[in-house]
Structure 1
Amino acid sequence: MGNKTKGLLALVGLGALAYWKYKKSTPEEQQKVKDKINTAKDNFNKWGNDLKSKANDVASQVQNKANDVASQVQNKAEDVKSQAENAIN
């Protein structure tokens, strides 16, 4: 058996054990488990949203920087053009 198979079997075994313990526990204990799962889910969603907003911030910073560079290049090109025209005249 490969390590992945052993790991998967161990995970399935742990899941089955946890499920069995959950089914045998009192309604109060079951509610605690549900609360923990919901808290974990909320934290995960919040983390995902934070990540999305950070990614959007970075993307807009990159876009702003690209626009700045583009306008600097354009200004430089216009300067060079007018210098060339002045040199010719």
Structure 2
Amino acid sequence: MNNKGKGLLALLGVAAGAFAFWKYKTMSPEEKQRLKDKANETGRKIKEKAGEVEETISEKYEQLTNSARKEANDLKRKANDLTN
């Protein structure tokens, strides 16, 4: 992207931020509370999903580790059988 395009994109970003700030400042206290509640709920859901993903990854890692150990032990056993 050329500099002109980047500048335009930056300008649009600043304008969007200014609009969002103005919109928040003109909200009623009830609307602000609803927005905060929605943000908190979204954050809670993200944390919950991240915990689920972490748990799934840990389980998969443990399964792979156990599988690799079993395979290594099987190979050692086969190597010992061949040398004896």
- Judging changes above 3 Å, is the alpha-carbon distance between structure 1 residues 25 and 7 closer, same or farther for their aligned structure 2 residues? same
**Which residues of 2 match residues 42-53 of structure 1 at below 5 A?**
42-53=44-55
Identity of matched residues, %: 30
TM-score (norm 1): 0.76
* Paired residue total: 82
Q: Distance in 2 between matches of 1:48 and 1:67?
A: 28
1:4 is displaced (CA, Å) by: 4.0
Note the alpha carbon deviations across 1:14-49, whole angstroms, 9 max, x for none.
222122111111110000000111111112212222
Bigger Cα Rg: 1
Note the alpha carbon deviations across 1:40-88, whole angstroms, 9 max, x for none.
1112212222222222112111101110111110111121122xxxxxx
TM-score (norm 2): 0.80
Q: Distance in 1 between matches of 2:19 and 2:45?
A: 25
- The secondary structure found in structure 2 opposite 1:25 is coil
Q: Partner of 2:63 in structure 1?
A: 61
The one-letter code matched in structure 2 to 1:79 is D
| Higher relative contact order (CA closer than 8 Å, sequence separation 6+) | 2
Give structure 2 stretches of 5+ with no counterpart. Answer: none
* Pair 1:41 & 2:62 matched: no
- Judging changes above 3 Å, is the alpha-carbon distance between structure 1 residues 62 and 27 closer, same or farther for their aligned structure 2 residues? same
